[in-house]
Amino acid sequence: MDLVPKPDQLVAAAGNVAHMAMYGGLADLRPMPRTLIDEGTLREVYHYRPAVNVRSHGDPVLLVTPLAAPAICFDLRRGCSVVQHFVEGGRPTYLVEYGNVSFKDRNLGLEHWVEEVVPTAVREVSAHAGGRPVHVVGWSLGGIFAMLAAADAPDLPTASLSVVGSPVDVTKVPIVAPLRPLLDLTRGHGLITRAYRAAGGAPTPLVRWAFQLSSFQKLVTKPIAIATHLDDADFLAQIEAVDRFTAQMTAYPGRSFGQLYHRFAKGNALASGAVQVRKHEVSLADVTAPVLVFAGATDGIAPVAAVKAVVPLLTGSREVRFEIVPGGHLGMLTGRAARGTTWQVLDEWIEQWSGADATPAAPATRAPRKKAAAKKSAVKKTASKKTAAKKTAAKTPATTPAKTAAKKAPAKKSAAKKTAAKAAKRPAASKDAIGANPTRRYGSGGSRALARRT
């Protein structure tokens, strides 16, 4: 809204305020319809129902949520939903979430997600999709789970990995760097260790506060931002959806939080490329699937440097690609700008590493009509030819069949030549192509791609 609002801005602002007062908000928060296909301890795997009049095609996508964050991170609101984007594009879409963590789950460690939850979800999705390989997309800690699971079980039917805002080198995280000297002082069973053990983990209010602290500046300036955007219904709807997301954050299990604290925050173990899971070491160098890594240009939880640190560690991957996109930690995944940036890159990447038959067929509502019309004209032509043939046969019954056969043979040869010519004109698929779209434009100015093949 302008400093001196225009009449149309005032009308729009008044309409938005009235709508919020009468209906409680502007955002369309309806979840995309889904069906439960598998469940276990803190594991629920869902299949999103295909959109009406859209035929599902290609390899499936599995969305992996992080701990403590609600699964609506992938389905924030209509119009800003990763799930909606994939479903309406005809991509078979699945999600694994963990439900509410309680005190009874305090003994579950990271191995539960790395060795059981994520691998089981990948196998169940592949089986449900008819044995197809799975494109795994993980956000934040979900991306780290996805990479560790792929490294620990190379036999998983994984077509590709997409890691969105997953910090690997926590020394590059600004909100953690000032606290590291204090963490070094609390070696052994310090105050923090005793606190999370007593509580059974990191409680929900603490998790919510930590997420809000990562974007403290936005939190402080939020009232001003709302006041200056009262005429922008889409902006207000996004604020409303993000508030709902933050309010639904849950707790970390005690043992998992302890491992994250000691191994990641204090030890920065993942920056070395390997981490201890149960009684063995899992190395990121064992990931063989192609990996796409996203960093948010203004992400405070997973800054660019903290995320980019994973690229040289994925030495066994078939290809590694790194992209910087606009947005903060959540915005890069499901913000308004993500529609033309993150989602577009994801589409290109998944299409690149999908099977040969993954391209959708022509829409079922248009093709049959054209075919029907073609059939009718063909019938008419055939009928006229038969009539002419009968008349000719009546006049010269001995010579006409021979002439007809002679005419048909060159026609078949001509058709074969045309088909061969068309096939020769088609460009061969390049093995070096990485699926980048040279016409893509977005405001980050820092986007880049790194490719490496063994």
State pLDDT tens for residues 341-358: 999 999 999 999 997 544
- The pLDDT value given to residue 278: 83
Both tokens of 213, joined, read 């602290």
CB of 224 within 8 A of CB of 127?
no
Query: Span 318-336, mean pLDDT?
Result: 95
pLDDT above 90 covers a percentage of the chain that reads 44
Instruction: Check pLDDT > 80 for residue 275.
Output: yes
Angle at 101 between CA 125 and CA 303, to 5 degrees: 75
- C-alpha–C-alpha distance, residues 420 and 409, integer Å: 17
- The pLDDT value given to residue 176: 58
Instruction: Check pLDDT > 60 for residue 210.
Output: no
More confident residue, 127 or 68: 127
Both tokens of 353, joined, read 């590493």
More confident residue, 376 or 29: 29
- The pLDDT value given to residue 220: 57
Which residues neighbour 147 within 8 Å (Cβ) at sequence distance 6 or greater?
138, 161, 163, 166, 284, 287, 291, 310, 314
CA atoms within 13 A on the CB side of 365: 4
Terminal-to-terminal C-alpha distance of the chain = 53
Both tokens of 140, joined, read 């934040």
pLDDT band at 425 (very low <50, low <70, confident <90, very high): very low
- C-alpha–C-alpha distance, residues 310 and 166, integer Å: 9
pLDDT band at 437 (very low <50, low <70, confident <90, very high): very low
Type of residue numbered 397: P
Instruction: Check pLDDT > 90 for residue 123.
Output: yes
Query: Span 173-195, mean pLDDT?
Result: 52
More confident residue, 211 or 55: 55
Q: What is the pLDDT of residues 131-157, one digit of tens each?
A: 999 999 999 999 999 999 999 999 999
Query: Span 111-125, mean pLDDT?
Result: 96
- The pLDDT value given to residue 175: 62
Distances 450 to 14, 144, 165, 175 between C-alpha atoms, Å: 48, 19, 17, 27
More confident residue, 83 or 6: 83
Instruction: Check pLDDT > 80 for residue 48.
Output: yes
Q: What is the pLDDT of residues 76-99, one digit of tens each?
A: 999 999 999 999 999 999 999 998
Q: What is the pLDDT of residues 237-274, one digit of tens each?
A: 999 999 898 888 776 666 777 777 777 777 788 999 99
- C-alpha–C-alpha distance, residues 446 and 341, integer Å: 12
Query: Span 185-192, mean pLDDT?
Result: 50
Q: What is the pLDDT of residues 363-407, one digit of tens each?
A: 333 333 333 344 444 444 454 444 444 444 444 444 443 444 444
Judge residue 25's burial from the number of C-beta atoms within 10 Å of its C-beta, 0-12 exposed, 13-18 middle, 19 or more buried. middle
Q: Give whichever of 175-179, 402-406, 417-421 has the largest mean pLDDT.
A: 175-179
Which residues neighbour 282 within 8 Å (Cβ) at sequence distance 6 or greater?
114, 148, 151, 152, 274, 275, 276
- C-alpha–C-alpha distance, residues 115 and 41, integer Å: 13
What value does the mean pLDDT of the chain take? Answer: 76
- C-alpha–C-alpha distance, residues 293 and 324, integer Å: 9
Query: Span 34-38, mean pLDDT?
Result: 97
Query: Span 435-450, mean pLDDT?
Result: 42
121 membership: H or E segment, kind and range: helix 118-128
> Which residue from 211, 235, 234 is spatially nearest to 224, judged by alpha carbons?
235
